[in-house]
Structure 1
Amino acid sequence: MDTMETTKIVGGACGALLVFLLLGWAGDSLYHVGASEHGDGEHTSGYPIEVAEASDATSDEPEVTIEELMASADAEKGAKVFSKCKACHKVEAGANSTGPTLHAVVGRAIGTEAGFEFSSAMASHGGDWTVEHLNGFLTKPSAYVNGTKMSFAGLKKATDRANVIAYLQTLQ
C-alpha cells in the first residue's frame, strides 16, 4: 500500500467522522431533550404533564367491605380468575405442587398443609385462612406475609378476590 492509498483511507475516515458529528449536532438542534428550567425553578427533561392527584380520583368511590363483596360473589367467575393460580396450586386434596393444595383452604390454619414445606414467615404467621385473611393475602402476598415464597403479584380488583374466595369456599 502506498502513501496515496493511506491518505485516502484516513481522509475517508475523517470525512465520515465529520458527517457523523454534523448529523449529531443537527439532531440535537432539532430534537433538544436536555434539562430545561420551568417557572418553579425545577430542572427537568422533556415536557411536563399535569396529572390529577391519586386521592382526588378515588375520593368519590364508596369503600366496599369484603363482607359486602362476598354477599354478591360468584364462584363460577372465581373459578375463571383462579386460572391464574393453577400454574402453582392444585385443588385436589393432598395434591401439592409448587404451592400447597388449596383444597379446603378456607378455615385451615395458615402455613399448614401435610407434605408441603412453607417459608418460615408463612409457617410462623399464625391464624386461620378466613375470608379477611385470604382477601388481604390475595391483594399482595409479599406485603401481607413479608418473606413468603409466593411470587404472585396479587389480584388488584376486590371483586376478583371475592369471587376467588367464593370459589375456594366450594372446595371443601
Structure 2
Amino acid sequence: MFDTMVITKAVAGVCSALLIFLLGMWVSETIYLPHGEAPVAYAIDIGEAEVDDGEPAEEVDIAELFASADPDAGEGLWRQCRACHVMDEGVNGVGPYLHGVVGREISSVDGFNYSGALTQLGDVWTVEALNAFIENPRGAAPGTTMGYNGMRGLQDRLNLIAWMERESQ
C-alpha cells in the first residue's frame, strides 16, 4: 500500500508547504516591516508642560471630612464590597469579614489567609489607611490579592467607612 513513491510524494508535499510558508513570511516582512533608520513612531508636540511654581498641593484633612461623612450614603456603596466581604463577625467570604474593621489590627482575622502585602499600610486599620486602601488597593499595598479597582471619590470612601463603623457598633 505505501510504496517508496507515495512516501516521497508526502514528504515533498510537506516540504513544499513549508517552503511556501517561509517564502510568504519573507515577502510580508519585506513589505510591512520598516528597514533602515526610519523612525517607527513620531513625536507629537502637545505644548509646554505645566511648570510647578513651588506651591504645595492643597492638603485634605481626612479627619475633618470623616466627621461630616454620611453613613446612610455609605450604605449604598456597600454593594461594591459585599460581593466579596460580609459584615457579620466571624464569617469570611472571598475576603475577610469587615465587622469592626475601623480600629482593628491589619491582617488579624482568624481563619483568613492574607497575602502579606497589607503590612505596608501599618498596624491598625485607621480611617486614613482604609481610605488609601479603598481608593487603590494595588497602589496602597502592592502585591495584594484583592481584585478591586478602587473607589475614586474621597467623600464616597469616607461615607462607606462611616457606614462600616456604624454597622459594627
TM-score by length of 1: 0.63
Q: Which residue of 1 aligns with 2:144?
A: 148
Please tell me whether the aligned partners of residues 111 and 126 of structure 1 are also in contact (alpha carbons under 8 angstroms).
no
Please tell me whether the aligned partners of residues 111 and 125 of structure 1 are also in contact (alpha carbons under 8 angstroms).
no
Give the number of equivalent residue pairs.
125
Residues 53/145 of structure 1: CA separation in 2 closer, same or farther (3 Å cut):
same
Please tell me whether the aligned partners of residues 74 and 167 of structure 1 are also in contact (alpha carbons under 8 angstroms).
yes
Deviation at 1:121, TM superposition (A): 1.8
Please tell me whether the aligned partners of residues 122 and 145 of structure 1 are also in contact (alpha carbons under 8 angstroms).
yes
Q: Which residue of 2 aligns with 1:113?
A: 109
Identity of aligned residues (%): 38
Q: Which amino acid aligns with 1:73?
A: A
Q: Which amino acid aligns with 1:100?
A: P
Q: Structure 1 CA distance, aligned partners of 2:96 and 2:61? A: 28
Deviation at 1:160, TM superposition (A): 0.5
Per-residue CA deviation, residues 21-68 of structure 1 (Å, 9 max, x unaligned), is xxxxxxxxxxxxxxxxxxxxx946xxx897997899xx9x95532112
Please tell me whether the aligned partners of residues 74 and 163 of structure 2 are also in contact (alpha carbons under 8 angstroms).
yes
Structure 2 residue runs of 5 or longer lacking an equivalent are 1-40
Structure 1 window deviating more from structure 2 (103-112 vs 63-72): it is 63-72
TM-score by length of 2: 0.64
Please tell me whether the aligned partners of residues 139 and 161 of structure 1 are also in contact (alpha carbons under 8 angstroms).
yes
Deviation at 1:166, TM superposition (A): 0.4
Per-residue CA deviation, residues 83-132 of structure 1 (Å, 9 max, x unaligned), is 11110000011110000000011111111101111112236754100111
Q: Structure 2 CA distance, aligned partners of 1:127 and 1:113? A: 13
Match of 1:163 among 147, 159, 163: 159
Q: Structure 1 CA distance, aligned partners of 2:76 and 2:99? A: 16
Please tell me whether the aligned partners of residues 93 and 101 of structure 1 are also in contact (alpha carbons under 8 angstroms).
yes
SS of the counterpart of 1:82?
Answer: helix
Structure 1 residue runs of 5 or longer lacking an equivalent are 1-41
Q: Structure 2 CA distance, aligned partners of 1:51 and 1:93? A: 55
